[in-house]
Structure 1
Amino acid sequence: MARPTTLLACCKLYISESRNDAALRAIEQAARGGGGGAVVVNRFTDDAYNRVGYTLVAPLTPSPAPPPLRHAVLGMVRAALEAIDFGAHAGTHPRLGAVDHICFHPLAHASLRHVADLAGAVAADIGDELQVPTFLYGAAHREGRTLASIRRQLGYFKPNSSGDQWRGAPETDALPVAPDAGPERPPRSKGVVVVGATSWVDNYNVPVHTGDVEAARRIARAVSERGGGLPSVQAMGLAHGGGVVEVACNLLDPARVGAEQVQGMVERLAAGEGLSVGKGYFTDFSQDKIVDLYFRSAANTEG
């Protein structure tokens, strides 16, 4: 398969479940049954957060048929909504629904406009076919609102159980803002879905050796751009079990501010709290590695 002119789209799909093996098997089977073209290049599971992230890649074809990534993602979302009861979910990572977040990124020679159109189509599929309220952000939203802003409007960052846990569905099914697709009220067993399109984002988490979630939140606030810290960095302080908390970061412009800068600042801030820090980790591969994995898988399939 020739690489130079291939347009690729990447989708990161975050599911609010990591402990139900039968549910995850059904979701992964749906990805494999997506009609070909889409490849799952990574699965990142975090049992403390009770969350799993899938990374899919597929070509953007000029044919009038729907892109293979649209079909594969919709199949996985459908399987997740059928297999997971959001009302019974609990974990130490915030979430808005059984399928919490779907983000599309351009790879290779694709443009942000390409994946924005794809994100909009997937959001419409979820809202119209699966009847789940769906919210757009980034290049997929007409005003370009950010992921953080729609999450904040929907109460994403506020734990609803014991200070550091998110448990079950919200007590009310009234949404503070109208969805871009789907019904006005979310099913309690499904919640809502946020779908967007952005340039590449790195997710980098730094463990801090303490059970003090408030300390992690202070550090996260100081690291984040919103708190006056590093530009293009968003951060949350989250419990992670076993006497460890994490400063979980989104690096919105990793070419400008990368993991080394985040690691160094977390270490300095933690030292000021009298705390030690472990080596941070990415939750996914680099863009180049993901492209390479896709082409290797595609070549093996063709062979």
Structure 2
Amino acid sequence: MVRPALACCKLYISEARNAGALRAIERAAAGLRPAAVLVNAFADDDYNRVGYTLVSPLAGDVAASPPPLHRAAFRVVAAALEAVDFGVHAGAHPRLGVVDHVAFHPLAGARLEDVAALTRAVAADIGDKLQAVPTYLYGAAHKDGRTLASIRRQLGYFTPTSLGGEQWRGAPDAWPSSPLPVAPDAGPGTPSRSKGVVVVGATAWVDNYNVPVRTADVGAARRIARAVSERGGGLASVQAMGLAHGDGAAEVACNLLDPAAVGAEQVLERVRRLAAEMGVGVGEGYFTDFSQEKVVELYLQ
């Protein structure tokens, strides 16, 4: 039997502590099962952030009849915007909105260009139907292939907003009253304090891999992250941030953009070497989601 082409949607929500909000979001995520299946949820209380992974066949005419993955992703975004107030959010992970990031990836048999078309349709619905959040595209869904890191940098994602630079309290103070630095691809031109903005994109598979660093010195974690990342002259296709993570601890949080070429073992080895040079211990690295092979297996079960 020929299996349908599959696609994946990862949604990163700026909430992990409000049990009622999480229940509402997860009900929305599970509402189209078995057509779209929630295969993973990873919550981090210190970051006050949760990631959901949906898998579904990439089928149907995107313009005429949205496929299940489109509808499931939209349901999760709508539920999150209803349940979470970004204006009171606090956590050690940077973010731009209630729905901080929505990433679509092709899985078995799917083409990136088809996933990109789906992504653009979902982003248009978020911006136009909900009329709640400015919506930005990146990757294959954006006309110029803008990267996630690029649009985040333009919107101030990497700028701490607390004394000492260890916490991000949400959207910049000026957002509700001044134009955004970059015009959104969909939705209103001005964000609300309670919702922020959302970034939606399509790329090949990305592994999210974090390495605990046994130090209260977040600056040390940031120096390690910089040296590990491609941007800092480190490992190709690796993005990394050094973040506070719990009392007296930090971690190097990484996006592995080409995990087949540069994987977790290489990242862990590099972090260990750099940390040892600073006299800092390192814990065991961990993924925040399953591998792409595993998410396909879980969908098919």
TM range (shorter): over 0.9
Residues 217-263 of structure 1 deviation map (CA, whole Å, 9 limit, x = unaligned): 00000000000000000000000013210000000000110000000
| 1:182 counterpart = 2:157 | no
- Alignment partner, residue 141 of structure 2: 140
Residues 95-150 of structure 1 deviation map (CA, whole Å, 9 limit, x = unaligned): 00000000000000000011101110110011001111000000000000100000
| 1:154 counterpart = 2:152 | no
- Alignment partner, residue 5 of structure 2: 7
- Alignment partner, residue 103 of structure 1: 103
- Alignment partner, residue 244 of structure 1: 249
Matched residues in 2 for 1:102 and 1:15: separation? 9
Matched residues in 1 for 2:242 and 2:89: separation? 20
Matched residues in 1 for 2:112 and 2:205: separation? 10
- Alignment partner, residue 117 of structure 2: 117
Residues 145-183 of structure 1 deviation map (CA, whole Å, 9 limit, x = unaligned): 100000000000011113110114321123100000001
Any unmatched runs of 5+ in structure 1? 297-303
Matched residues in 2 for 1:95 and 1:156: separation? 6
- Alignment partner, residue 234 of structure 1: 239
Any unmatched runs of 5+ in structure 2? none
- Alignment partner, residue 292 of structure 1: 297
**Which amino acid is the alignment partner of residue 39 of structure 2?**
V
Count residues with an aligned counterpart: 294
Q: CA deviation at 1:35?
A: 6.9
**Which amino acid is the alignment partner of residue 170 of structure 1?**
P
- Alignment partner, residue 281 of structure 1: 286
Matched residues in 2 for 1:35 and 1:269: separation? 45
- TM-score by structure 1 length? 0.95
SS in 1 for 2:281: coil
Cα contact 2:227–2:233 (8 A) shared by 1: yes
Residues 75-105 of structure 1 deviation map (CA, whole Å, 9 limit, x = unaligned): 1111100110001000000000000000000
SS in 2 for 1:226: coil
- TM-score by structure 2 length? 0.96
| 1:264 counterpart = 2:269 | yes
Cα contact 1:34–1:75 (8 A) shared by 2: no
Q: CA deviation at 1:30?
A: 1.1
Note the 1:32-181 alignment, pairs <5 A: 32-34=30-32, 36-62=34-60, 64-131=64-131, 132-162=133-163, 163-173=165-175, 174-181=179-186
Q: CA deviation at 1:187?
A: 1.2
